[in-house]
Amino acid sequence: MSEIALVNSPNVGLDKTQKGGPYVNDLSTLNLGPTHPATHGIFQNILTMDGETIVDAEQTVGYIHRAFEKIAERRPFYQITTLTDRMNYCSSPINNMGWHLTVEKLLGIEVPKRAQYIRVIMMELARLADHIVCNSILAVDTGALTGFLYVYQWREHIYEIYEELCGARLTTNMGRFGGMERDLSKVAIEKINVLLEGLPKGLKEFEGMVMRNRIFMDRTQNVGAISAERALNYGFTGPNLRAAGVDYDVRSLNPYSSYEDFEFDVPVGTKGDTYDRFLVREEEMWQSLRIIQQAMDNLPEGPYHADAPHYYLPPKQEVYKNMEALIYHFKIVMGEIDAPVGEVYQSVEGGNGELGFYLVSDGGRTPYRLKFRRPGFIYYQAFPEMIKGSSLSDAIVTMSSMNVIAGELDT
């Protein structure tokens, strides 16, 4: 019996004659994942435990690798949009817009102001949806289920707004090169106004329940902390970096899609622990609401897409009766339009960090090389360092607060 226990432990060959018997300092191995309800995605962590304390962790990723970068090398640009929204599926419109911005940069398309504002509204809605998921699930992981139910209905409401804009809910494929495929409908505007009215109440209720809750604070404060210096060295971006005290936000440092027109704060934390990450996300939701309010108030009149017939799908009615429209429709759908030669990097502030697209075009119909900078992939490697020395339950909470999305990490 004792022999079996020793074989499974990493300390095989332990001196059995030492004082206290063979089990002194005996370490055990625990498999957390790949499929475990608490990891919120398919991640495997092989934890080396000393009792309840984590001594070391080793990660295995790639369980849902779908070779997006390889597939992208054979697909026309339009067909890559559908790959991007399968990366971070909690905030797919941001991925779609990021890809569209990248291609527009390469093609040199000027996007009209109205389309830019609609994009900002959709991206901020996506950020709200992403943060609602992350924060309320974090509360669930610490045992508070009720708060989750208060805010989750608003995520459903946001998905209904997506439906108005693009017809889909999760994998949105929203927008086109040069703008949006449709304007904000009357229903969409109504729904956004309902959200602006109702979400603050739900959010307040949620915060009142969780934010100063003694149990929640005990579970999250000083848990999974990382210093600003280490976070930068590990390539952290987004709320996780800001929680550590670095005010790097792509929206304010390199504004895209008219973010410079809006007034918003970039919240930062001090300790970089789980509680700070939670607080930063909470405040970002309030800032997102502020941005959406400003965008709705100042929504410019005008077209909702650029005049770029080579890249923007013509309306279907036109295709049936107008020859040029038919030709462009065919060429765009079949991907017969060559892109100019060039190299572009465009980043947007995704739900969990800087989402970058590095596109190398050799003048063909498909990218020569497309590299996605996925924030989750880059900062998840710091996880072992963040949980070493803490208990297993802290590791669960830390992972939850890091907002790692398996689809994005594995592409």
Q: Tell me how far, at minimum, the Cβ of 362 lies from another protein, in Å.
A: 10
Applying CB under 8 A, among 152, 154, 248, 312 the residue interacting with another protein is 248
Provide the pairing of β-strand 341-350 with 53-60.
Answer: unpaired
360 touching another protein, by CB under 8 A: yes
Q: Tell me how far, at minimum, the Cβ of 105 lies from another protein, in Å.
A: 6
**Cis amide bond preceding 309, omega within 30:** no
163 touching another protein, by CB under 8 A: no
Applying CB under 8 A, among 377, 394, 397, 402 the residue interacting with another protein is 377
Q: At what angle do helices 113-141 and 186-210 cross, to 10 degrees?
A: 30
Residues 26-55 binding another protein (CB under 8 A) are: none
Strand partners, 373: 356
**Residue-wise burial string across 297-328, b where 16 or more C-beta atoms lie within 10 A, e elsewhere:** eebeeeebbbebbebbbbeeeebeeeeebeeb
Q: Tell me how far, at minimum, the Cβ of 155 lies from another protein, in Å.
A: 29
Alpha helices (H) in 168-322, listed in sequence order:
186-210, 214-220, 228-233, 238-243, 250-253, 274-297, 316-321
Per-position x/- string for 83-122, each x denoting binding to another protein as judged by CB under 8 A, each - no binding: ----------------------x-----------------
388 touching another protein, by CB under 8 A: no
Question: Is residue 120 packed enough to be buried (19+ CB in 10 Å), middle (13-18) or exposed (0-12)?
Answer: buried
Q: Tell me how far, at minimum, the Cβ of 235 lies from another protein, in Å.
A: 3
Alpha-carbon span 109 to 194, nearest angstrom = 34
Applying CB under 8 A, among 233, 260, 298, 302 the residue interacting with another protein is 233
Q: Tell me how far, at minimum, the Cβ of 328 lies from another protein, in Å.
A: 17
Tokens of residue 316, six digits: 């279907």
| Contact in structure between 309 and 337 (CB atoms under 8 Å) | no
The residue ranges that bind another protein (CB under 8 A) are: 61-62, 65, 67, 69-71, 73-74, 105, 230, 232-235, 246, 248, 253-254, 334, 336, 342-345, 347, 354, 356, 358, 360, 365, 369, 371, 373, 377-382, 410-411
